[in-house]
Amino acid sequence: MSEPAPPGPLLEVDGVSVRFGALLALNRVSLTIPRGEICAIIGPNGAGKTTLLNCISGFYHPYEGRIVFAGGERTHLSPPDVARLGIARTFQNVALFRGMSVLDNIMTGRVLKMRGSFLLDALWWGPARRQELAHRAVVERIIDFLEIQAIRKTPAGRLPYGLQKRVELARALAAEPQLLLLDEPMAGMNVEEKEDMCRFVLDVNSEFGTTIALIEHDMGVVMDISDHVVVLDYGRTIADGPPEQVRKDEAVLNAYLGVAHD
Amino acid sequence: MSSVGSALDTFPKLARANAERLARQVAIREKDLGIWQAYTWRDYFERSRRIALGLASLGFARGDKTATVGDNRPELYWAALATQALGGVPVPLYQDSSEKELAYIVDHAEARFAVAEDQEQVDKLLHVRAQCPRLEFIVYEDPRGLRAYSEPGLLSLAELEERGEKFALGHPAYFDDEVARGRAEDTAVICYTSGTTGAPKGAMLSYRNLIEMARIATDREGLRRDDEALAYLPMAWVGDHMLSYAQAIVAGFVINCPESAATVLSDLKEIGPTYFFAPPRIWENLLTNVMIRVEDAAWPKRKLIHFFLDLAQALERRRLNGQPRPWLPRLLAPLGQLLVYGPLRDNLGMRRIRTAYTAGEAIGPEIFVFFRALGINVKQLYGMTEASVFVAVQKDGDVRLDTVGTPMPQVEIKISEAGEVLFRSPGVFQGYFKNPEATRQTLEDGWIHSGDAGFLDAAGHLKIIDRAKDLGRLADGTMFAPKYLENKLKFSQFVKEAVTLGPGRPYVTALINIDLGAVGNWAERRGIAYTSYTDLSQKPEVYDLIQQEVVRVNRSLAAEDEVLRGARIRKFLILHKELDPDDEEITRTRKVRRGHVAQKYAALIEALYGDRDRVAVEAQVTYEDGRTGTIRADVAIKEVV
Query: Any chain A CB within 8 A of the CB of B24?
Result: no
Same domain, A111 and A129: yes
When divided into structural domains, chain A yields a total of 2
For residues A261 and A181, membership in a common domain is answered with yes
Do A194 and A245 belong to one domain? yes
Name chain B contacts of A141, Cβ cutoff 8 Å: 33
Are A170 and A191 members of one domain? no
Residue A196 lies in a domain: yes
Angstrom distance (rounded) from CA B138 to CA B154: 5
In terms of CA atoms, which chain A residue is nearest residue B148? A206
pLDDT at B155 over 70: yes
Residues A75, A3 share a domain: yes
- Domain of A249, CATH number, reads 3.40.50.300
Decide if B148 and A206 are in contact by the 8 Å CB cutoff.
yes
A229 domain-assigned: yes
Q: Is residue A261's pLDDT more than 70?
A: no
The answer to whether position A37 is within a domain reads: yes
List phi, psi (to 5°) of B627: -70, 155
Query: All domains of chain B, ordered by start, with CATH?
Result: 4-16+37-242 (3.40.50.12780), 278-467 (3.40.50.12780), 472-639 (3.30.300.30)
Strand pairing report for B378-384 and B389-393: antiparallel
Tell me the sheet residues that pair with B447.
B444
SS3 of residue B489 by DSSP: helix
- Does ipTM top 0.95? no
A241 is in which domain, residue-wise? 1-86+177-262
Select from A176, A196, A223 the last residue of a domain. Answer: A176
Domain boundary among A176, A206, A240: A176
- CB-based contact B260 A147, cutoff 8 Å: yes
Q: What average pLDDT does the segment A26-44 reach?
A: 92
Q: Are residue A168 and residue A185 in the same domain, yes or no?
A: no
Residues 6+ apart with CB under 8 A from B324: B318
Strand-pairing partners, residue B355, are B275
Residue type at A241 in one-letter notation: G
- Indicate whether A53 and A120 sit together in one domain: no
State the pLDDT at residue B474. Answer: 85
pLDDT confidence tier of residue B406, bands split at 50, 70 and 90: very high
A262 pLDDT higher than 80:
no
Chain centroid offset of residue A108 CA: 16
Residues of A with a Cβ under 8 Å from any B Cβ are 136-137, 140-141, 143-145, 147, 149-150, 152, 192, 195, 199, 202-203, 206-207
Choosing from A123, A141, A176, the residue where a domain stops is A176
The whole-angstrom distance between B295's CA and the closest CA on chain A is 19
Question: In angstroms, rounded to a whole number, what is the distance separating the alpha carbons of residues B442 and B431?
Answer: 9
Instruction: Identify the closest residue of chain B to A199 by CA–CA distance.
Output: B145
Contact A149 B260 (CB under 8 A): yes
List the single residue in B with minimal CA-CA distance to A141: B33
Partnered with residue B108 across adjacent β-strands are: none
Q: Is the pLDDT of residue B3 over 50?
A: no
Contacts of A195 in chain B (CB under 8 A): 625
pLDDT tens column, B431-457: 999 999 999 999 999 999 998 888 788
Q: Tell whether A93 is covered by a domain.
A: no
A94 domain residue, yes or no? no
A238, part of any domain: yes
Q: Is there a single domain that holds both residue A183 and residue A81?
A: yes
Q: How far is B158 from chain A (nearest CA, A)?
A: 17
Residue A33: phi, psi to the nearest 5? -120, 110
**Is the model's pLDDT at B265 over the cut of 70?**
yes
pLDDT tens per residue across span B210-251: 999 999 999 999 999 999 999 999 999 999 999 999 999 999
At residue B560 the predicted structure's pLDDT band, cuts being 50, 70 and 90, is: low
Q: With cut-offs at 50, 70 and 90, classify the pLDDT of residue A135.
A: very high
Distance CA A185, CA A181 (A): 10
Whether residues A190 and A152 share a domain: the answer is: no
Q: Which amino acid is at B307?
A: F
Q: What is the pLDDT of residues A229-243, one digit of tens each?
A: 999 988 888 889 998
Across the interface, whether the CB atoms of B34 and A145 are under 8 A apart is answered no
**What is the model's pLDDT at position A257?**
65
* Domain match, A187 and A150 both: no
Distances (CA, A) of B120 to A151, B140, B146, B276: 22, 10, 10, 29
Mean pLDDT for chain B overall:
90
- Distances from the Cα of B158 to the Cα of A30, A190, B144, B267, angstroms: 45, 37, 13, 27
Whether residues A150 and B262 touch (CB distance < 8 A) is answered with yes
Query: What part of B 586-625 touches A (C-beta under 8 Å)?
Result: 624-625
State pLDDT tens for residues B581-592. 888 888 877 788
Average pLDDT over residues B355-377: 90
pLDDT at B5: 43
DSSP class of residue A136 equals H
Confidence of residue A6 (pLDDT cuts 50, 70, 90): low
A14 in any annotated domain? yes
Q: Has residue A95 been placed in a domain? A: no
Host H or E run for residue B26: strand B26-32
Q: Does B37 touch chain A (CB under 8 A)?
A: no
Given a contact cutoff of 8 angstroms between Cβ atoms, the answer to whether B554 and B560 are in contact is no
Give the whole-number percent of chain B exceeding pLDDT 70: 97
Please indicate whether, in this complex, the C-beta atoms of B144 and A152 are within 8 angstroms of each other: no
Q: Which of A139, A149, A208 to mutate to test the interface with B (most CBs of B within 10 A)?
A: A149
Using 50, 70 and 90 to split pLDDT, how confident is the model at A172?
A: very high
Q: Does B262 touch chain A (CB under 8 A)?
A: yes
Cα–Cα dist B135/B178, whole Å: 23
Cβ–Cβ gap A199/B263 under 8 Å: no
- pLDDT of A33: 93
pLDDT in tens, B286-304: 998 888 888 888 999 999 9
Question: Pseudo-torsion of CA B405, B407, B408, B413, nearest 10°?
Answer: 150
CA of B383, closest CA in chain A: separation in Å? 32
The closest alpha carbon to B115, from B59, B71, B57, B179, belongs to B71
Q: Check whether residue A172 and residue A199 sit in a common domain.
A: no
Mutate to test the interface with A, among B30, B31, B33, B35 (most CBs of A within 10 A): B33
Q: How much is the pLDDT for B624?
A: 67
Instruction: Judge whether B150 is closer than 8 Å to chain A, CB to CB.
Output: no
Residues B66-122 have pLDDT tens digits of 999 999 999 999 999 999 999 999 999 999 988 999 999 999 999 999 999 999 999
Mean pLDDT within B134-141: 96
**A230 and A213, same domain (yes or no):** yes
- The answer to whether the beta carbons of residues B380 and B360 sit under 8 Å apart is no
Say if B147 is an interface residue toward chain A (CB within 8 Å): yes
pLDDT confidence band for A198 (50 / 70 / 90): very high
Residue A130: which pLDDT band, with cuts at 50, 70 and 90? confident
